[in-house]
Chain A
Amino acid sequence: MLLKLLFAKNEDIPVGSATIFFGYSSIFWFVVGTGLGSFNAAKLAFPDWVTGTELFAFGHMRQVHVLAVILGWISMAFAMTMMYMTPSLGNTKLWSEKLGLWNVFLWNIGLSLGLLLLWMGITSGREYSDLIWPIDLVVIFGVLLPLGINVWMTIAHRKTQGIYITNWFFGSMIFLTIITVTIGQSPELFNLTGLTEAYLTFWHAHNLLGLWITPVAAAIAYYTIPKITGNPLYSHRIGHLHFWSIIAFYSTPASHHLMSAPLPEWLKSFASVEGVLILIPAVAFIANILLTMKGKWSLFVENVEIKFSVTGVLLAIPLNMQGGFQQTRAINWYVHGTGWIVAHAHLALLGMSTFLEIAAVYFGLQAMLRRKLYSLALANLHYWFVIVGFCIYWISMTIAGLIQGAGKIYEVPYIDVVIAEHPYMIARWIGGTMVFTGNTIWLYNMWMTAREGTIIPDGRYAHEMAYER
């Protein structure tokens, strides 16, 4: 079906096709990615579980998990939301459905190929930039650039006068991410070496998180919360404070990832200070969204999309508190390289970002398929599996991290730390497996929605009909 649409005329492609294909691809990669995560967690708890072949060794699987969830789930969910939010906020149609479909197609092919090569150990050996440079070029030209062109052109052809905050974020963050990825991969393209390479690796990693994964998720919340509650955004101005302070402060603290490397000291100090300033956009965002909820808090219980979105926003509170302070030198010295950081990474990606995206994918797929969710009960089950699993993961890894930190500064022999962490490794595996189970339920639910969901009549929204039979 995709193949037929790829070669159809743009006018003949039904509106929303790109959204739908992106939506289902993202859920698919979510299931694959969390399944791999749960497998890795099992390997760290029980190292002799599957042995004898390098393909199932931890060192071959870890980066596949990380890139499957970042490039497959998170980024595709972003693309999916951009495909329907950008046009609807500009009162227009997507600039080109056809480009959108080619985008999904190239994205899935490129990602599958890249992950397959990584799995076999064909890597560039740089964290978060593990993909080899030919695949990096596919990411830049087949994935990000077409997405950017579609979004920019849709914004340019809008029929409204102003540009809503969500579209500000979408348009500029794609642009900045293209720059980030291009500069971040330049060591491989131009054979830059030494500290320059190390620094650019983490410059890329940091900006990918700071200018793509978290702000775009926040932008999504600026759409879903007002849309579903029916309340206008509390303040567009505070939204702009959020936007501009992200660009000003969060594009600079990359070197906080390399505090003990021989980088210039002024750069590290600068990064620490700028990093604490992340609290400004964070407070602006959280306050703005929670104030928008005024008078509609019952929806937090009644409506799945709001339930996911608000949970995501609430998780942003501990996330930014951790983020702001753990890069000050005193705290970084204690937590660097421990499970604390793994817990923090999952709080950002699996907590805040993922919850906001799940809400938007639920909402967008129902709106574009014009079908009501197959089962609300399954959706609630999905929510509880993901939130409980995530909490187990986060708490256990945070404790493991504190143990490791203590072991580090009190010079405990390393093996004792490994022994002390063992119960938390098992807990993490159980929590992660719950997330994975929840996601398989979700995939089933969305599959059935496409086939058997009640058709939504014109002029109505899925969320209004949630409790109608």
Chain B
Amino acid sequence: MGFRQHKFGSAGIGLMMGFSMSITLFFPSFDFRSGVSTWVGLDKQLSAGRLIGFSYEDPLVRGDGKPVTVILDKDPSTGAAIDPPIRAYVYKPGTPFSPGINHTDQLGLGVEELSVNVGKINDAKPGDGIVFTIVKGEFNGEELDYVENATAVRGWTVDKVLSSVGDDAKRFVGAGKTIYITEGCWWCHTLLPEETQDWQYFGTPPYLGDFNGEMPTAFGSDRKAPDILHVASRNSSREWMYMHFFNPRLVQPNSIMPRFDYLWAPIGKGPSDARDASGASIDFPKWRAEYMTYLKGDSIYPPDVPEPAADSQVRALVDWIMTSLR
């Protein structure tokens, strides 16, 4: 039949795609795999659990099946003081592990060896309930942070750790990041300071090993609002955060950030279940009416922002901001 246009064409497309796929997928994969987890990377994945977003353990994306981060200033077994305080990541029985525990090669050279050999992370089984911590160790003359199975190494069980601290020390970081994703904060905010000028105001950019095991990374591509990768170092006031989430115009009259007053509901519940710390349900119409009189200038003070309950969504969100975005 002589010249067959489509055969020639198909071969050409195959060849070109092969070429562009090698350059854009195959070669970069070596660079990605060479990333060695930093402390930030380990902290992110241990506090977030297996993944954020739709998953088997959290099909409704409410923040279920996530570990609890605990700030320890004394050893739960011996009672000895720990200074500065460290973070323990409590995986109750059944909570799926973060990716680096299941696939240790994702931790990177050195961190993997230390975590497996010294930190005994391979002994951990999801059914048991495990407490992890991050400790420093040496690999080939280099100081690295690695993951330790504190239940196996130090005998810190889930119950011991949880009962040794007050509510203040418990941080629902994984649930908080889930809210960041579902509420679409990342359509306005970014988690990736850009080169040069940005760094002076919003802080250092993330490093190569800061993402190992994170899913999704949610850098954000569109910035209508400040970068918040390090917001807690600029502003560490929980009071401010609560007022700002309830109604951003209370603290920043020109803000275009939406009100997130419905986050006063407990995790997994809708806005109609919103309650304050005392358990009383929040009367939004009344609050808004009082706010309008304040806006008109008929009252000097705006109405008070309700104290969030310990199991509220906004508490988890602020936990995440205060713990992870430093």
B-binding residues in A (CB < 8 A) = 43-45, 47-48, 51-54, 57-60, 62-63, 121-127, 132-133, 155, 162-163, 168, 172, 175-176, 179, 183, 187-188, 191-199, 201-203, 244, 247-248, 251-252, 254-255, 257-264, 267, 270, 333, 336-338, 341-342, 404, 408-411, 414-415, 418-419, 422, 425
Contact = CB atoms under 8 A, between A and B. Distances in A.
Contacts of B24: 203, 251-252, 254-255, 267
B219 interface: yes
28 contacts: A47-B255, A47-B256, A51-B258, A51-B259, A52-B284, A53-B262, A57-B184, A57-B260, A121-B183, A121-B184, A123-B54, A124-B216, A125-B182, A125-B218, A193-B99, A193-B211, A195-B217, A244-B12, A248-B16, A252-B20, A255-B28, A260-B195, A267-B24, A336-B194, A341-B222, A409-B196, A411-B200, A418-B224
A418 B224 CA distance: 8
A109 B284 CA distance: 37
A259 B216 CA distance: 18
B221 A193 contact: no
Given A63-B187, A123-B61, A127-B221, 12 more contacts: A58-B188, A168-B9, A191-B51, A192-B215, A194-B215, A195-B35, A195-B217, A260-B198, A264-B31, A341-B222, A342-B222, A409-B197
B29 to A, nearest CB: 7
Contacts of A44: 224, 256
Contacts of B187: 58-59, 62-63
B163 interface: no
6 cross-chain pairs, A with B, having the tightest CB-CB distances, nearest first: A59-B184, A121-B182, A337-B223, A125-B181, A132-B54, A194-B211
Interface in B173-198: 181-188, 190, 192-198
Given A47-B256, A194-B35, A261 B219 contact: yes
Given A124-B54, A203-B25, A333-B195, A247 B16 contact: yes
A411 B201 contact: yes
B291 to A, nearest CB: 10
Max count, chain A CB within 10 A of own CB: residue among B198, B208, B216, B270? B216
Contacts of A179: 17
A123 B53 contact: yes
B258 A58 contact: yes
B120 interface: no
Contacts of A192: 215
A341 B221 contact: yes
A408 B225 contact: no
B212 interface: yes
B114 to A, nearest CB: 19
B226 A260 contact: no
B261 interface: yes
B224 to A, nearest CB: 7
A131 to B, nearest CB: 9
A415 B212 contact: no
B50 to A, nearest CB: 8
B296 interface: no
Contacts of B29: 196
Given A63-B184, A121-B182, A194 B106 contact: yes
Contacts, number: 229
Contacts of B59: 122
B94 interface: no
B213 interface: yes
B78 interface: no
Contacts of A199: 28, 32
A125 B53 contact: yes
Contacts of A411: 197, 200-201
B53 A124 contact: yes
Contacts of B31: 263-264, 267
Contact of B214 (A48, A54, A194, A415): A194
B278 interface: no
B81 interface: no
Given A126-B216, A260-B194, A57 B258 contact: yes
A162 B28 contact: no
Interface of B: 5-6, 9, 12-13, 16-17, 19-21, 23-25, 27-29, 31-32, 35, 41, 45, 50-54, 59-61, 99, 106, 181-188, 190, 192-198, 200-201, 205-208, 210-226, 248-249, 252, 254-262, 270-271, 284, 288
Contacts of A425: 256
Please report whether the interface of chain A is mostly helix, strand, loop or mixed according to DSSP: helix
A125 B52 contact: yes
Max count, chain A CB within 10 A of own CB: residue among B13, B28, B45, B260? B28
A414 B225 contact: yes
Contacts of B213: 193-194
B149 to A, nearest CB: 20
A48 B254 CA distance: 11
B65 to A, nearest CB: 14
B318 to A, nearest CB: 17
Contacts of B195: 259-260, 333
Contacts of B99: 191, 193
Given A194-B106, A418-B254, A258 B224 contact: no
Given A270-B23, A414-B225, A47 B257 contact: yes
A47 B244 CA distance: 14
Contacts of B262: 52-54
A371 to B, nearest CB: 36
A98 to B, nearest CB: 25
Contact of B258 (A59, A121, A193): A59
A426 B205 CA distance: 33
Contacts of A122: 54, 59-61, 182
Contacts of A248: 16, 19-20
Contact of A176 (B17, B61, B217): B17
A53 B272 CA distance: 9
A409 B181 CA distance: 28
A247 B197 contact: no
A417 B196 CA distance: 19
Contact of A52 (B23, B196, B271): B271
Contacts of B256: 44-45, 47, 418, 422, 425
A7 to B, nearest CB: 33
Nearest to B261: A52
Nearest to A206: B24
Contacts of A163: 5-6, 9
Contact of B255 (A188, A342, A415): A415
B7 to A, nearest CB: 11
B255 to A, nearest CB: 7
Contacts of A51: 258-259, 261
Contacts of B190: 337
A121 B201 contact: no
A424 to B, nearest CB: 12
Contacts of B260: 57
